Structure 1
Amino acid sequence: MKDSFMGQIQDGATVYGSDGEKIGNVSEIGPNYVVVSKGIFFPKDIYIPESAITDTADDGLTVDATKDSIEGMGWDAAPEAAPDTASAYERETAATGQTDVRASDGERIELREEQLQAGTRPVQTGEVRLSKDVVEEEQSIDVPVHHEEVEIQRTRVDRPADSADAFSEQQVSVPVMAEEVEITKEPRVVEEVAVGKTAHQETQQVSEPVRREELDVEHEGDIAPASDRTRE
């Protein structure tokens, strides 16, 4: 079953995780593994062993890992192949011409290149906190107050004195009043602060090295140089 899986895989095939999410494309096929090249989502090449391939189809292959977990599977190097597997692979590639493609009349060779595909995900870039502190300051207000002052008025008179009160001590008391300031404090709401968020869109340029295949033409024998035409 595994041999049939490896025989059905094509270079450039789409690789899907066990959750159905696309992981990448096959950039290299080994005797017992396939390679998904590094790019935006992976910092290094991923060597998926043959044992992790669970299914193949016309549109690609499925592996026993998700896109989020594949980096932690330890597939950062090519797995060792059994001697018989490696020999069979070498014989197959030599027979099919994967390492040395010689095109006869009507034969074609496909040239591939990597193209960048970008997506976005939300990440926290910062945080705003609102808090309030109690501070003390000196405040002054003007308060009108009243007070009484004593006025003494003397009026000259000329009348007979009462003999009972004549030449006796007498005392008169007059209360003098004034207002005193009393201070009370009343808490009042003087301001409200509301916090909200607005989304803005901007364009960011990202760069990543990509690979492409170039055609090398080798001439053997006494032949005219091959013409190179591009058809749309």
Structure 2
Amino acid sequence: MFQRTQLREGMTVRSIDGEKLGKVFALGDDSFHIEKGLFFPKDYLVRYADISDIRDGEIILMHGRESLRSLSDTDKYGSTTTGYDTTSGLGTSAGLGTSAGLGTSAGIGTDTGLRADASTEVAIPVHKEELDVTKRDVSAGEVRVHKDVVEEVKTVSVPVRRERVRVERRDVNPDRPAMNASFQDETVVVPLRAEEVDVHKRAVVDEEVVIRKDSIEEERRVAESVRHEEVEISTPDDVDSKRSLNLGPDDDPLLRRR
């Protein structure tokens, strides 16, 4: 059997044939209430034992639409207020009976609220929204460094050497004998040498451009609207004011709605 902890307020309730019956608006120890609407003319009380399955966050009952409608009209459990009899743990006023350990005034009434005596504690959740702030990295721009090739003429002075000829005549002793004189035409070749300049280019590192990224921290304000619930309490004496919660002696404030 399904337990109270497996259900929560607001869950959709469907019949075994898939028909939407309404939503859960109150949870008791042994049963829960389906809000009144087009299908039920008034709030309908269902036992946890009547749940067939809980699927995809929805409650599936064991009965079909028409069966539930007839049960709602004729009171399946022997009471004219769609409640359980005392043998099943709920009183004739659709409340918890004496066999459940609570008096007939501590059960579920014929209206939409739970009745509670001094021994019953009812917690009313009041909700609000909080802001959860997270951070994510995004692109904040970019820095581009572009290199252009510039051509220029560089002049370098290089010392070079070459040989040249100087011709001079000088007198000799006329008595000096001539050796190997052939008295034939003859040409004497004297080679001359000179240095030429060859230019070669090579790539070298002229300088470096260093780009560093530093992280700076700044404070940014983020504003977003949040909602919260406020509780308005009225008593039976406040007949002229709009009632949000009924705190009469026979009502449980958890299940009273405006």
Task: State the TM-score, normalizing by the size of structure 2.
Answer: 0.36
Structure number with higher relative contact order (C-alpha < 8 Å, ≥ 6 residues apart):
1
Larger radius of gyration: 2
Task: State the TM-score, normalizing by the size of structure 1.
Answer: 0.39
